Structure 1
Amino acid sequence: MSKKKKVVRKILHNLLLAILAVIWLIPIVWLLVTSFSGYDGMNTSRFFPKTWTINNYFRMLFQSDTVAQFPRWFTNTFIIAIFTCLISTIFILMVSYATSCMRFKGRKALMNAGVMLQLFPGFLSMIAIYFILKAVNLTNSHFGMILVYSGASGLGYLIAKGYFDTIPASLREAAYLEGASELTTFVKIVLPLSQPIVVYTVISSFLVPWADFIFARIILNSGISSDWTVAIGLYNMLQRNLLPNYFSRFCAGGILVAIPIGILFVIMQKFYVEGITGGSVKG
């Protein structure tokens, strides 16, 4: 291929990416500018608002009412996400270490079963999970949601296992010769060398309850708005009779929800990318 053709191909490739990026960014930009709109409802006649204000953010954060209780929803979601993140991270890392660094009867069969179960979408089991929680009186309970979110998290061991596979076995063997137990080897040898995959696991575990709507909607169905998560609360603001007065505040809430995740990704981006790339290939 001539140099001229390569340049033209590169230009077309970058142009296509630029067009796709613009298309992808349009809804996000519209959500952002609408959150600063002085008009409470949805204005579809123009992209940018006529008047600008930060009042929507102020009302979401400091003027809760019977419809918009954003601080309460944010607190509920944050508590669920934090506990789920802690439990899920521990489960995933322990299962990954066991399948990567330990040898026991039935190990391969267990790994294959875990991978096969991960192929089925989680919503297929939601109805069964709901009736199980209802039988033990854990519906409309944040504790019940934490149990379900973190209960099967160990099945997502594959990427972390791939990263652990890249750590030289000689380091663990040296620790065993010094009399270290399996737990000591895991905590003091393997984890310090696995910072990228730990960060990746923490972020992934945090995102599951933070962004989930379907399962939270099924479990938290009592109608008590103070028990809702952010996803349920914001969705409720999209009712037809509420749109004229709450749509701009809904947009502000959407931006506020994205801020913590955005900050987390910016801070942890390097480790997050290293965790994905390091764990996607078996060493």
Structure 2
Amino acid sequence: MSKKVANFIRLSGSYIILIALSIAALYPALWILFASFRPGKSLYSKTFIPEQFTFDHYRELFTSPSYMFGTWYANTLKIAVFSMLIGVVLTLLTSYAVSRFRFKARKTALSTVLILGMFPGFMSMIAIYMLLKEFNLLDTHIALIIVYAAGAPLGGTFIAKGFLDTIPRSLDEAARIDGASNFGIFMRVILPLSRPMITYMALTQFVGPWVDFIFARLILRTKENWTVAVGMWDMVNTNQNTNFTLFSAGAVLISIPIMILFVFLQRLLVDGLTAGASKG
């Protein structure tokens, strides 16, 4: 077998694998998209593309008295935005401290963050539930914001630290000679140079609360306080409910903000990931 034939077979195999993976990723998304425009309530259909298209499901989400999709959407947006803002600040401050300062418990703190990050979050849900109950925070959005934001440093500290380690310390020293304090260096030197990493952390911290169901279902009890994930689960949680096309319409609306953020912040997101993966 000649080298040209071998390269052709290898290249063809690579394209076949990529096409198969693309189909596996796109087919479910397209099915949900087409289902949201399909008349009726059944998710199953004889054809992949609907024979007739309708916007009734999108209209029903916002007009039906049985659902409060607009309220759920606003609740989710509020929780995700505040969790993102507080979580990014906490992660940046934590990573800046362990990246730039050498203190006695530094290695212990890093090891603690690393070990805690290995455990799935739902293992602590019962303990968190009891704490929130003692502070009368059950069925409140502030409870979700506190938990989401407090958990952000566990997942983002090491990545942010790797990025901050790539910023030359000579910049810190030059700013300190000019009379800048540690906080001034953080605000005027570190933050402007950390825009790719901040974008990555903000996006990941926004997506988590936006799509979370388990913890939101545990904490939120009244229908007015539900998030979109909990509300959509309620649409199809019993055998009597067959609102699958309505569920598909809600799923499409949920995906729109995340899709927009990924499209416009893709370059900064890639820069933040690659830079944060470097070892300083």
| 1:107-256 superposed matches below 5 A | 107-156=106-155, 157-220=157-220, 222=221, 224-238=222-236, 239-243=238-242, 246-256=243-253
The residue aligned with 2:266 is 269
* Structure 2: tracts of 5 or more residues without a match: none
* Range with bigger deviation, 195-204 or 232-241: 232-241
Provide the C-alpha distance between the structure 1 equivalents of 2:259 and 2:152, rounded to a whole number of angstroms: 23
Give the drift of 1:241: 1.2
The residue aligned with 1:15 is 16
* Range with bigger deviation, 15-24 or 160-169: 15-24
The residue aligned with 1:86 is 85
TM-superposition CA deviations, 1:179-203 (whole Å, max 9, x none): 1000000010011111100100111
Give the drift of 1:43: 2.8
- Asked if 2 retains the 8 angstrom alpha-carbon contact of 1:39 and 1:51, the reply is no
Once superposed, which parts of structure 1, at least 4 consecutive aligned residues long, lie more than 4 Å away? none
TM-superposition CA deviations, 1:138-159 (whole Å, max 9, x none): 1111111111111232223010
SS at match of 2:265: helix
* Range with bigger deviation, 115-124 or 37-46: 37-46
Give the drift of 1:277: 0.7
What code does the residue aligned with 1:133 have?
L
The residue aligned with 1:76 is 75
SS at match of 2:138: coil
- Asked if 2 retains the 8 angstrom alpha-carbon contact of 1:64 and 1:70, the reply is no
Provide the C-alpha distance between the structure 1 equivalents of 2:239 and 2:71, rounded to a whole number of angstroms: 23
Provide the C-alpha distance between the structure 1 equivalents of 2:11 and 2:172, rounded to a whole number of angstroms: 47
Provide the C-alpha distance between the structure 2 equivalents of 1:204 and 1:24, rounded to a whole number of angstroms: 20
- Asked if 2 retains the 8 angstrom alpha-carbon contact of 1:38 and 1:50, the reply is no
* Range with bigger deviation, 252-261 or 32-41: 32-41
TM-superposition CA deviations, 1:87-125 (whole Å, max 9, x none): 000000010111111111111111111111100111100
SS at match of 2:102: coil
Provide the C-alpha distance between the structure 2 equivalents of 1:73 and 1:190, rounded to a whole number of angstroms: 37
Give the drift of 1:49: 2.5
SS at match of 2:240: coil
Give the drift of 1:44: 4.2
What code does the residue aligned with 1:272 have?
L
Provide the C-alpha distance between the structure 2 equivalents of 1:6 and 1:152, rounded to a whole number of angstroms: 48
Number of residue pairs aligned between Structure 1 and Structure 2: 277
Provide the C-alpha distance between the structure 1 equivalents of 2:37 and 2:106, rounded to a whole number of angstroms: 55
CA RMSD in angstroms, aligned pairs only: 1.3
| 1:40-119 superposed matches below 5 A | 40-61=41-62, 63-66=63-66, 68-119=67-118
The residue aligned with 2:275 is 278
Provide the C-alpha distance between the structure 1 equivalents of 2:151 and 2:25, rounded to a whole number of angstroms: 33
The percentage of aligned residue pairs carrying the same residue is: 41
State TM-score, norm by structure 2.
0.95
Provide the C-alpha distance between the structure 1 equivalents of 2:40 and 2:152, rounded to a whole number of angstroms: 43
Give the drift of 1:240: 2.2
